[in-house]
Amino acid sequence: MTEQSKNRKSIPARTKGAVCALLVLLAAVPAYAKGSADAPGQNTQTAAAGQAKYVFVFIGDGMAMPQISAAEVFATARSSKDINVTRLGFTQFPVSGLTTTYDAGTFITDSASAGTALATGNKTLSGVINMDPGKTKAFKTIAEYAREAGMKIGVISTVTLNHATPASFYAKVPSRSDYYDIAVQLAGSGFDYFAGGALNQPKGKNGDQPDAVELAKARGYTYVNSREAFNALRPGAGKVLAINAVLQDDGAMPYEIDRGPGDLSLADYTRKGIELLSDNPKGFFMMIEGGKVDWACHANDAGASIHDVLAFDEAVRAALGFAQAHPGETLIVITGDHETGGMTLGFAGTQYDTFFDKVALQKKSFIAFNDDILGPYKRDTPLARARLSDLVPAIKDAFGLDYSSLSSFQKEQLEFAFQRSMGNEIERPVAEDQFLLYGGYEPLTVKITQIMNQTAGIGWTSYAHTGVPVPTFALGVHQELFGGYYDNTDIFRKLASAMNLAP
Ligand SMILES: [Zn+2]
């Protein structure tokens, strides 16, 4: 699929084709697993006949309705002007619910407390992973219960594998930034398949600890970090730690919009997980995170977010193919841990109109632009000789932003942000107005994506998370448990019920 998925022009075709394939698949799902006309909601936790033997939990980090809707409107705009929105695969699941995300200390959760809620059913404070607010008591995770019951366990993420969300399925630490402790706990987890981004600080904050990758190898993990070695993995490979060959942003996989031809995708890692774990008579539990939806939205980069949501949907489709082959035994749950950015469809300047075809002009994420264009320019250009006009062609190439078409107000904003970017970090004011304008990101790049997004009709209110509920979707055995309006801690109990685990 790599060739096709790298061809941006093919997005509408493959989205629509996949939707057709999904409809066929949904028709093939047995009647008992279908429909939610009488969805019982959170009060019906008793397991009906059958047990979820193969369980996929997909978490879109920072993914709520705005991120999902933006991806669907984008897919629609790319395909036609038809008002009928092109649907993602997972938004067509037979059961959907709404999930509250507040944590023990705030209405606006972070990924650590949200991950703790999803993985263990407990509320805790932001920043804490699988411990109580007093940081003395540790919680057991759904993945650990599943492993005890004989299931094989996979943890996949586009960001570093010891980042908060993946860590929430295997680690217990008082602070999410204890990256080294988390990496050591990964090596000792006994889980079967870790794949995606690298380990952050594998030798500790100061680089003076035993390498966590070596610790994992000593615990019996096969470590691969090339596409060839990864593709060669076969069932019976034993425990696997697979790190993407190409890394971006301190060890994460590249944004989908930046992914090179033939480079591995979240869907590739999901398919391999299925291949490696499904020969187990007791089944598997897999958590698959689209982690950079969140990172894109922190930076107010709608284009990067949208392409990562589409890649996340591709990974879900890999699971759907498996569900089709294993009806009555497979459960797929999709949720988000919180919304990020206060993204919305609609902007004051475009009122009732959207122009998502403009988002399709973007070819690089904000971070790729910083790494490839702005960083080198800043390094090589003395302040006195720096001119925004030097970067105008590169801005057009990367974002499709045509400088000559901008209003004088927008040109003024870009020039101001350019001057800010050219000042060094120390000179850059940290005053409130600067934070509200750029959120600590590279001012020029944030301003470019904001202008692009506003022109398309996309608005933002924050560089952090927001407190609105997220949607949850379910397909397969015990899907009915996931209808209704419930809390993120309930997802743990629903999963345990569907898998017949008795925490
Ligand atoms: Zn998060």
CA distance 466 to 424: 30
Burial label, 363 (beta-carbon count in 10 A; 0-12, 13-18, 19+)? middle
pLDDT, tens digit, for every residue of 292-312? 999 999 999 999 999 999 999
323, 97 Cβ separation under 8 angstroms: no
Q: How far is the CA of 61 from the centre of ligand 1 (A)?
A: 4
Domains, the chain, in order of start with CATH, read 2-125+136-343+464-498 (3.40.720.10), 345-459 (no CATH)
Across 326-341, b (16+ Cβ under 10 Å) vs e yields bebbbbbbbbbbbbbb
Sign for the pseudo-dihedral over CA of 303, 155, 59, 114: negative
Q: Residues lining ligand 1 (ion), CB within 5 A?
A: 61, 111, 294, 337
Across 227-261, b (16+ Cβ under 10 Å) vs e yields beebeebeeebebbbbbbbeebbebbbbbbbbbee
Q: How far is the CA of 337 from the centre of ligand 1 (A)?
A: 5
Q: How far is the CA of 408 from the centre of ligand 1 (A)?
A: 37
- Whether the per-residue pLDDT at 26 is higher than 90: the answer is no
Amino acid found at 203: K
Q: How far is the CA of 386 from the centre of ligand 1 (A)?
A: 37
Q: How far is the CA of 211 from the centre of ligand 1 (A)?
A: 27
Considering the chain, what percentage of its residues have pLDDT values greater than 90?
Answer: 82
354: helix, coil or strand? coil
Q: How far is the CA of 325 from the centre of ligand 1 (A)?
A: 32
The CA distances from residue 242 to 3, 57, 151, 315, in Å, are 22, 19, 20, 17
Q: How far is the CA of 420 from the centre of ligand 1 (A)?
A: 29
Q: How far is the CA of 333 from the centre of ligand 1 (A)?
A: 17
Q: How far is the CA of 328 from the centre of ligand 1 (A)?
A: 31
Q: Please report the pLDDT score of residue 503 as a whole number.
A: 74
Q: How far is the CA of 470 from the centre of ligand 1 (A)?
A: 12
pLDDT, tens digit, for every residue of 255-273? 999 999 999 999 999 999 9
Q: Please report the pLDDT score of residue 424 as a whole number.
A: 53
Q: How far is the CA of 112 from the centre of ligand 1 (A)?
A: 7
Tell the residue number behind the tokens 């705030």, with chain if given: 106
pLDDT, tens digit, for every residue of 310-369? 999 999 999 999 999 999 999 999 999 999 999 999 999 999 999 999 999 999 999 999
Tell the residue number behind the tokens 């470590």, with chain if given: 223
Q: Please report the pLDDT score of residue 139 as a whole number.
A: 98
Q: Compute the average pLDDT of residues 230-258.
A: 97
Q: How far is the CA of 434 from the centre of ligand 1 (A)?
A: 25
pLDDT, tens digit, for every residue of 431-474? 667 778 888 889 999 999 999 999 999 999 999 999 999 999 99
What is this structure's pTM? 0.89
Q: Please report the pLDDT score of residue 83 as a whole number.
A: 64
pLDDT, tens digit, for every residue of 119-178? 999 999 999 999 999 999 999 999 999 999 999 999 999 999 999 999 999 999 999 999
Token readout for 119 is 């993985």
Tell the residue number behind the tokens 């109580």, with chain if given: 132
DSSP code per residue over 150-164: T-EEEEEESS-TTSH
CA distance 202 to 208: 10
